[in-house]
Structure 1
Amino acid sequence: MKRFGGIFGGKAGSSSASRSLTALDEPAALQEAMAAASHIMNDEVERAETELAKGTSPFHKLGRATTVFLRATLGFEKEIMEQASARLAEAEDSASEHQRRAIRDPSTAHQSAIYPTGAEYALCHAESQLMSAVVAVLNESLTESLRGFYNLRKAFATLNEISEAEKRYLQAQGKSYASSVASAAPSTGSRTPAVGSGVLTPDGSGNDEFDDDEDDFVDAQEDAAFESKTATGYQGNLESSDFEKLKLDDARNGGSVPTSTRSSISTPSETAANDADRIDFRTITSDPIDLFIHSGTALCFGLLQLMLSMVPPSFSRLLSILSFRGDREAGLRMLWSASKFKHDINGAMAGLITLGFHNGAIAFCDILDKSSLPEARLKSLLSEMRQLYPKSKLWLLEEARMLTADRELESAVQKLEQGPPSPLKQVEALALFERSLNYMYLHRYEDCAEGFIECVGKNNWSHGLYYYISGACYVELYRIHKASDPAKAEEYAIKADKYLHEVPLHTGKKRFMARQLPFDIFVNRKIAKWDHRAKALDCSFVDAVGVSPVAEMIYFWSGFRRMNDDQLRYALERLAWSEDPKLSSRWEQESVDERAIHTLLKGTCLRFLGQTREAKAMLADGVLAYDAARIKACDHADNWPQPVAHYEIAVCLWQEAGGQGGDKSVLVKCSDELAKVEHWEAFELDARVGMKVATARLTLKKCGVGAP
């Protein structure tokens, strides 16, 4: 059974084909590998692969692994993920072998005034572990996912040592600096340190089911494993042999037995906490290996903190096993710091992650403080990246997302159509997906449907989603033409029926953390609901569809926020179809859950049109006035409108208060509404709303308003 090793846990001899680097070799090998890897960020993956294949150093192997990792995370294709896992395992083993050699004989390795001997290889190993963890969590097996989270913990332990060494050096030089991972001090009364504290190594006592002395994780019955009672944190040894217990500082200390790595970091002030972003490390050192270590550590820490801060609450119990919690602000500071190194792969990746997070998540949240979306800085970063990597459509994609955030949807579509196709099919698929979403927000339903059908042939990410949105668009087209052109309407009805009934054939197979994907559950229930209604009402399937399913999709993808006023008013016109007796004959008999959906979507449109008082009253009277049990009693009930309505009312209150610095009493009411969502039982697609709720909660805390 393959060993699930730690920092020094690579298999002996696994990289025997690669010649060990000397201290003189390292800078040239690093420079060559970094130059080759930078082609990845220009969509020139084949060129990067060819150039990286010329070398066998850990830097080259990490670069080759990164090329496949990028493909895997962009396309979610099973075969590519398997290739990425194999490449990453090879990179881990090579880094481990070189680090062991550096610690045994420091004279053979790069000598840094800042970092412990072998830190550059420890970083390569940690980066490989981090990417391996992401691939493992994307895998459909719970066992693989647990391996992934365990890998994250061990990568954190390595990165913490590197970061602490850097902090000690800067403090000795009189620099005011605080590692962003030290943004929260550990609890002295707890045996299990928390993510974000910079203290992620065990205290060395006890054993549990995650003890690394075991050969490997074994495949258990996954549902039972997920539901079983687990320890609150890892309390055993990470490494199995005395040699493997060596820490990065041991080379300096003559190989002495390490003491506990539990840190005594104190919580830094807000000024100190921002130093990681403010300090330009190039003024500290010009050593290329030191700069690689610094930018790589900032990238990895930043990404880890950001990832963990975005984990849905439903996985909090699993993360508590490994004492994980993220720190969004700390993660972003580290990513901004790493993005200063734009010419290398670490800086470019940090820039892409920073832009993607702001443009793809934060930009479409509703309750934000003034510093959450630094538009000028983001636009400057994007401009620099486009100049450095002009061939990549990844940067065009980010520019298009910025345009949608400014409610310039037509310009965003035009931007995505610019230039030749990317040689990376995964990037082309992303651009097509984004363009198709924008067609949906523009109410260009036929373009949207055709775009998503084309997506089916581009990747394997979520064919169920593609067919569902396509079918929903044809439902809308059927309704538009039903009265004016019955023949054309019938053509659309046939397509709607075809594509919506295609959905169940492409859902339920993929798993995340051994569980069915939330969206799959949602759409399968919707289609079952409409089939049931068609039979009960003795009507066609398309006539049994309830309130505009395309408007629902627009809501869950934050599309109303991207519409201008004319597009919002047209959205209200489309929603009015359901309650128009000339067009829809059964509104008076419509179920209460459908009525709640209808009112919620109308209220949201009104809010974006600036009519917050009307929206708030509509939500209170037309959604929250229903008894929750009555909604649950509906056939194949939609259980999400009521908790989401509380969120929408919270946004209305935030706007009525005047936002940041506004009326404190109204902000308290806003907080109360958020608490109702936070304490609501699980509901469909709650993770999509949960991100907005979590961001809102952070914002209110900055305003001095806490959770009730």
Structure 2
Amino acid sequence: MPPRETVLKQIEGASRGFEALLDNDLVQAKQILSSDPDSAFHLVGLGLSAFLAAILSREDDELRNAQETLIRAETMANNEANAKRAKGETAGIFPGGTEYKLLTGDATIGQALIAIMSESYVEFVKAIWKMNKSYKIFMGIFKTVFPEDVSENDSLHDIFTRLNDRYLEQTTKPQPAVESSGGFFSSWGRKKPSAVAAPHLRHVSSSSAIPTLPSTSASNGDAAIAASAPVSELPSRSGSSTDLSTSFANKVTLADSAGNAEVDSYPSPLWANDPLTKLVISGAALGSGMFGLIFSMLPPKMRKMISWFGFSNSNRPVALKLLTIAASTGDDVHGYFASLTLVTFYGFLLLMSGWQASEPTYLRSLSTILGRVHDRFPNGTLWVLNRAKLARYERRSEDAVGIIVDALGREAKEGNSFREADSLLVFELSWLYLSQARFVETADAMERMCTLNSWSHATYIAIAAGALVDEINDQRRRGESPSAEIVERADKLLAKLRGLCGLKRVFGEKPVTEVFILRRLEAQKAKLERWIRAGRLKEGAKLWEVVRISNASELGLFWATIGGRSPASGIQKQIDLLSSFSPPPRFGPASSSVSPATPSSTLGRTETRSSTLSGNISRRRTSVASTTPSAAPIPPPSSATDDLDTTAEILQRDLLLGILYTAFGHYDSSHYALAIQFLDAVLAASPAEVGEEKWVVPFAGWHRAVVELKTGDAETKDMESAKAKEVWRRQMDRANGWLDQVLATGEYDMKTRLESRVLMLRDEIQMKKVKVGLA
């Protein structure tokens, strides 16, 4: 067991190493973390650095190295946790050895996450066992740090006050002589004073005697509650590892259980300059908060199943409070991971839940948490990425693109040893370009992904090829001949797509996206054969010539890139493109930019349409007020004349148009009525009309629920509360009805992903019910 002074130096060194990683210097991070082979702190940091690099690169060698490092780290930390130590020795104000038990939990959960990424069912079983072990470690430490527990009704002010009171009590007691002890457990749970109490805390009896920071003003002009804390400098790139925590103090915005914006003021932590206490409190809060958040997002059946392994605690508000404590307390690895977990969670909700009970609250929370850490690491890829994501969530896509392009350009000029993180930037850039309907740039970015990691090249290439086909079709829409260069690129990518599918395995199975891509590829090949048989194309025609609904659109739908938070210009361009295909859309006006006489042409070939955008629209139009799907069948399309030559393809377009018009509703709520018509048409389709594209109906049901909730927002915007309550009762009943139908649907593509979105949306509905007084 190393002496306390050595432990403190090890914590400081390991923190500097991990900070180098977060500042994109993986080489320096590895050098620092490899400099002390006898330090469990350094070894765990080295393992977690390898873990981050591995999950970003998806390279087998990286994963293997990370796993081996974390196993060594677990062994070393576990040995130190159980080593004999002097009687009265403490980890800050906690029992001696707690810091090493925490490191054991860190190393174990890292191993579990790596095992989950493997291709083996055996490794998956090991992952469950490792997760359970880590969970028990963290919950044991949690009970030591938070003996009174943390409830949903506890404010952050209450929690921090209790922690401060306990810290004050422990650090103002007389220090006993340190004696030899029989072992670690002899001191467990007993209150022991810190071996080194902060000088300004001695000989005081209450928190009122502690120096306070001056009160600050919030953005809305309200005065913040004065914070009791040791004074330290604001974070900076040149600051030490103990500078960050003070900047987290005073205020945070969280969504309460009713979805209200809850601004919770709280005192700064008194242990900000006590590395051991900070490490334990931050780690305990992160571990229990992260597990609680994960469990809260699992489907009920999955939650029940994992409870057999000892997992519990799925209260999301409590989990978010604990993660906020970790982020506000610790500037070690736990504090950083807590911040990263929070911004990822809020971003995921903003993008994937479709509708939020309190969108401004999530945006403020994400912005506040991100801003604090980004001030410390302005060039760190993980924080730059989330700055871009925040801009995207705020529908500032051009700003988001600029943030990423600037970061990639800077790294190309100055160098970046943490290149694995670039894949995150490029992947986000790909979706941003697609949301703007910048198809060639989308393809460029997705092709670049194949050089950055080895996850699913089939998925990257499918999206790239689909985006190029979209560009070809858009050039046709504008009356132009498709670019020979673009045609050649699309043809090459589609030709190699089949060979890429199935190369990657997850638990011995193909990734769900690749299963979908392969099935859609077969459908497109069957379409090519139909067109050749009909004399529409010659023998030897290429696949790109028949594709109209592309993989880029389909996978963009699954990733909430099509519609959602897209800019109005991108939405309009995608609507125009989809509306240019024959037969014309069944509802709504024809696109003003589409000419009925525009031919569907290919290089060296000309196709004629038997139907135009002006034909049959009025015959197919239904009442805007309709909210009940019509059972009228889709008029049969023709493979000899129509771009969309099956009812399944028409339904895919209906779904996409429904999603796009829903997204347009953010800019003009009158578009919601048109969205409802398209989505209802999909929901009314018969199994024969749907064919193999069974996924379109449940996805339409989920989006139909989203439209109900968005129309509720629009209707109640300026309405008095009593009337608004009745409107919300109706809208939420309808939304839940659509979600019930989704959950009752049998097997279809991307089912597990859609079901997770159902659960997220239901959580938001429940929060809104509480907020308006319906629960």
Which among 330, 348, 360 is matched to residue 318 of structure 2?
330
Residue 74 of structure 1 aligns with an amino acid whose one-letter code is L
Residue number in structure 1 paired with 2:283? 296
Which among 512, 516, 519 is matched to residue 522 of structure 1?
516
CA contact (8 A) 2:436 2:571 kept: no
Residue number in structure 1 paired with 2:668? none
Residue number in structure 2 paired with 1:481? 475
Residue 459 of structure 2 aligns with an amino acid whose one-letter code is L
1:648-691 alpha-carbon deviations (Å, 9 max, x no partner): 11111112223796521221111111111122223212343333
1:226-263 alpha-carbon deviations (Å, 9 max, x no partner): xxxxxxxxxxxxxxxxxxxx998565489xxxxxxxxx
1:294-321 alpha-carbon deviations (Å, 9 max, x no partner): 1012222222233344457896686355
Post-superposition offset of 1:275: 13
Q: How does 1:44-123 map to 2 (within 5 A)?
A: 44-55=25-36, 56-101=38-83, 104-107=84-87, 109-110=89-90, 113=93, 115-123=94-102
CA distance in 1, matches of 2:338, 2:111: 18
Q: 1:601 to 1:313 in 2, by over 3 A?
A: farther
Residue 568 of structure 1 aligns with an amino acid whose one-letter code is I
Residue number in structure 1 paired with 2:244? none
CA distance in 2, matches of 1:690, 1:683: 11
CA contact (8 A) 1:674 1:693 kept: yes
Residue number in structure 1 paired with 2:497? 503
Which among 368, 372, 376 is matched to residue 380 of structure 1?
368
Unmatched segments (≥5 aa) in structure 2: 160-181, 191-255, 585-595, 601-608, 612-636, 639-644, 666-670, 717-723
CA distance in 1, matches of 2:273, 2:363: 31
Residue 370 of structure 1 aligns with an amino acid whose one-letter code is S
Q: Is 1:157 matched with 2:222? A: no
Q: 1:668 to 1:372 in 2, by over 3 A?
A: farther
CA contact (8 A) 2:85 2:96 kept: no
Which among 396, 408, 424 is matched to residue 430 of structure 1?
424
| Alignment length (residue pairs) | 597
Residue 479 of structure 1 aligns with an amino acid whose one-letter code is N
Post-superposition offset of 1:429: 1.8
Report the 3-state secondary structure (helix = DSSP H, G, I; strand = E; otherwise coil) of the residue aligned with 2:90: coil
Residue 439 of structure 1 aligns with an amino acid whose one-letter code is Y
CA contact (8 A) 1:30 1:59 kept: yes
Report the 3-state secondary structure (helix = DSSP H, G, I; strand = E; otherwise coil) of the residue aligned with 1:511: coil
Which among 100, 107, 110 is matched to residue 128 of structure 1?
107
Residue number in structure 2 paired with 1:623? 682
Q: 1:480 to 1:617 in 2, by over 3 A?
A: closer
Q: Is 1:572 matched with 2:575? A: yes
Q: 1:253 to 1:523 in 2, by over 3 A?
A: closer
Residue number in structure 1 paired with 2:661? 606
1:551-571 alpha-carbon deviations (Å, 9 max, x no partner): 223322212122222321211
CA contact (8 A) 1:117 1:248 kept: yes
Residue 386 of structure 1 aligns with an amino acid whose one-letter code is H
Q: TM-score, normalised by structure 1?
A: 0.77
CA contact (8 A) 1:363 1:373 kept: no
Residue number in structure 2 paired with 1:692? 757
Report the 3-state secondary structure (helix = DSSP H, G, I; strand = E; otherwise coil) of the residue aligned with 1:623: helix
Q: Which has the larger radius of gyration?
A: 2
Q: 1:359 to 1:484 in 2, by over 3 A?
A: closer
Q: How does 1:449-468 map to 2 (within 5 A)?
A: 449-468=443-462
Post-superposition offset of 1:608: 1.7
Unmatched segments (≥5 aa) in structure 1: 1-19, 181-245, 255-268
Post-superposition offset of 1:591: 1.8
Q: How does 1:190-229 map to 2 (within 5 A)?
A: none
Residue number in structure 2 paired with 1:345? 333
Post-superposition offset of 1:522: 0.6
Residue number in structure 2 paired with 1:214? none
Cα RMSD for the two superposed structures: 3.4
Bigger mean CA deviation after superposition, 67-76 or 340-349: 340-349
Residue number in structure 2 paired with 1:204? none
CA distance in 2, matches of 1:127, 1:375: 29
Q: TM-score, normalised by structure 2?
A: 0.71
1:107-159 alpha-carbon deviations (Å, 9 max, x no partner): 3953554x333111110000111111111101111111111121111111111
CA distance in 2, matches of 1:406, 1:535: 45
Q: Is 1:561 matched with 2:616? A: no
Q: 1:366 to 1:302 in 2, by over 3 A?
A: same
CA distance in 2, matches of 1:639, 1:668: 25
CA contact (8 A) 1:432 1:451 kept: yes
CA distance in 2, matches of 1:454, 1:314: 39
CA distance in 2, matches of 1:126, 1:166: 15
Post-superposition offset of 1:106: 4.5
CA contact (8 A) 2:257 2:317 kept: no
CA contact (8 A) 1:72 1:80 kept: yes
Which among 291, 307, 316 is matched to residue 294 of structure 2?
307
Bigger mean CA deviation after superposition, 295-304 or 361-370: 361-370
Residue 423 of structure 2 aligns with an amino acid whose one-letter code is A
CA distance in 1, matches of 2:57, 2:102: 26
Residue 645 of structure 1 aligns with an amino acid whose one-letter code is A
Residue 163 of structure 1 aligns with an amino acid whose one-letter code is F
Q: 1:562 to 1:655 in 2, by over 3 A?
A: closer
Q: How does 1:145-294 map to 2 (within 5 A)?
A: 145-168=124-147, 251-252=187-188, 282-283=269-270, 287-294=274-281
Residue number in structure 2 paired with 1:36? 17
Which among 539, 546, 549 is matched to residue 547 of structure 1?
549
Q: 1:63 to 1:397 in 2, by over 3 A?
A: same
1:510-546 alpha-carbon deviations (Å, 9 max, x no partner): 2223322110101011111111221233143223324
Q: 1:674 to 1:348 in 2, by over 3 A?
A: same
CA distance in 1, matches of 2:478, 2:567: 27
Post-superposition offset of 1:342: 5.6
Post-superposition offset of 1:449: 1.0
Post-superposition offset of 1:340: 1.1
